Amino acid sequence: MLMKLLENCTGAFSVVNMKKISVGVLGATGMVGQTIVALLDNHPWFEVTEVAASEKSAGKTYEEVMGTRWNTSSDMPEYARNLKIKECTPKLDCEVVLSALDASVAETIESDFAKAGYAVSSNAKNHRMDPDVPLLIPEINADHVDLIRTQQKARGWKGFIVTDPNCSTIQMCIVLKPLMDNFGLEKVIVTTMQALSGAGYPGVPSMDIADNVIPFINNEEDKVETEPLKILGKLSQGTIKNADFAVSAQCNRVAVRHGHMECVSVKLSKKTNEDEIISRLESFRPLAAMNLPSAPKRPIIYQRNQNRPQPKLDVNLENGMASVVGRLRKCNILDYKFVVLGHNLVRGAAGAAVLNAELLKAKGYLSG
């Protein structure tokens, strides 16, 4: 009785006694990988037992490789410093792998891990559009995790792969979801201003980007135009029927460290007004009942000052997990236009992969 009471009171009893789920980070030395390492410091459900990267990093301690490359504002976590970096082969001592691998190698390595029985939560583009791989944003399509069953059956895998979307897609889709559900969505036009950390480490040469804007990011526009249709689609009988709207994207690299800004115009099916749209955005709290540790309390924050959002001021709201919206107004071509900002390394990558892993645990796809 006392134990039951304690559990009900705070949940602290169960957290203290719960065995943490072991996690390996693939690509742990990159921009996204190190952000995962930082986010999992003292995580209530997960514990990093392995870090892995290319053969040039393997065999050294995490601190030896990352001492001069650590690029995250918090200190390198103590737990990670002496971990020996391994190669990315499916012999790691963990149940789950969070993959932040370069796309040139992610396809085969992630499949090898899933085949060997690991749960893979990936940031890479390679498997996102596979018809049997969930492309998850838990606030939008948590039910798509059930594609895992189709995947395992079709491929004969003991493990599985789930993916998170492109860093520009995620923050925009979180805003499109309440618009689609409440007003119907017909067309989206988006122009992005994407941060330097979106290009990995060391990324764009400083001589190319200083005092400049580069109006091209390889393959980015295609991802921003196609991924939302799968994410906002419906899962039925083991397949996803894509959402029925069109997206046109123009993507630019700008000299900002973290935080992708996007100017978005939308055509809606129903008539509405600014107040109603803002109210729907601010009340969008689909994960409130699930208690996932990394889920933002406010997935969408609306900034009423006319010069917000700004990367410098808003990128870390809700620990970097919010889509920060502002400047909602009428559009002369479509219906409404607004600006949305998201932290590309957190909401757009590392935090998204961690949140997906939390969803997997909550839905019974992991032990513990």
Could you give the residue numbers annotated as active site?
167, 260
Q: Are 273 and 212 in contact (CB under 8 A)?
A: no
Distance CA 265, CA 337 (A): 4
Q: Does 22 bind ligand NAP (CB under 6 A)?
A: no
Number of residues that bind ligand NAP (CB under 6 A): 30
Looking at the DSSP bridge assignments, the partners of residue 285 are: none
**In which element (H, E) is residue 358 found?**
helix 351-362
Q: Does 27 bind ligand NAP (CB under 6 A)?
A: yes
Instruction: Select the residue whose beta carbon is closest to ligand NAP and give its number.
Output: 30
Distance CA 69, CA 44 (A): 27
For residues 123 to 162, the per-residue mask of contacts with ligand NAP, x marking binding by CB under 6 A and - elsewhere, is xxx-------------------------------------
Distance CA 263, CA 260 (A): 10
Q: Does 200 bind ligand NAP (CB under 6 A)?
A: yes
Of 31-39, 112-120, 140-148, 316-324, the window that binds ligand NAP (rule: CB under 6 A) is: 31-39
For residues 346 to 365, the per-residue mask of contacts with ligand NAP, x marking binding by CB under 6 A and - elsewhere, is --xx----------------
- In 147-212, which ranges are E strands? 160-163, 185-194
Q: Does 209 bind ligand NAP (CB under 6 A)?
A: no
Which of 33, 77, 90, 178 touches ligand NAP (CB under 6 A)?
33
| Beta carbon of residue 245, minimum distance to ligand NAP (angstroms, whole number) | 23
As a dihedral over the C-alpha atoms of residue 69, residue 74, residue 78, residue 80, rounded to 10 degrees, the angle is -50
Of 122-130, 142-150, 282-290, 313-321, the window that binds ligand NAP (rule: CB under 6 A) is: 122-130
Distance CA 232, CA 182 (A): 14
Query: Does residue 296 sit in helix, strand or coil?
Result: coil
> What part of residues 41-70 is at the interface with ligand NAP (CB under 6 A)?
53-54, 56-57
Cα-based distances in Å from 197 to 53, 233, 276, 336: 18, 29, 35, 30
| Beta carbon of residue 100, minimum distance to ligand NAP (angstroms, whole number) | 4
Q: Per the structure block, which two tokens stand in for 197?
A: 């950390």
Q: Does 196 bind ligand NAP (CB under 6 A)?
A: no
Q: Per the structure block, which two tokens stand in for 312?
A: 């410098």
Q: Interface residues with ligand NAP (CB under 6 A)? A: 27-33, 53-54, 56-57, 88, 100-103, 105-106, 123-125, 167, 197-198, 200-201, 344-345, 348-349
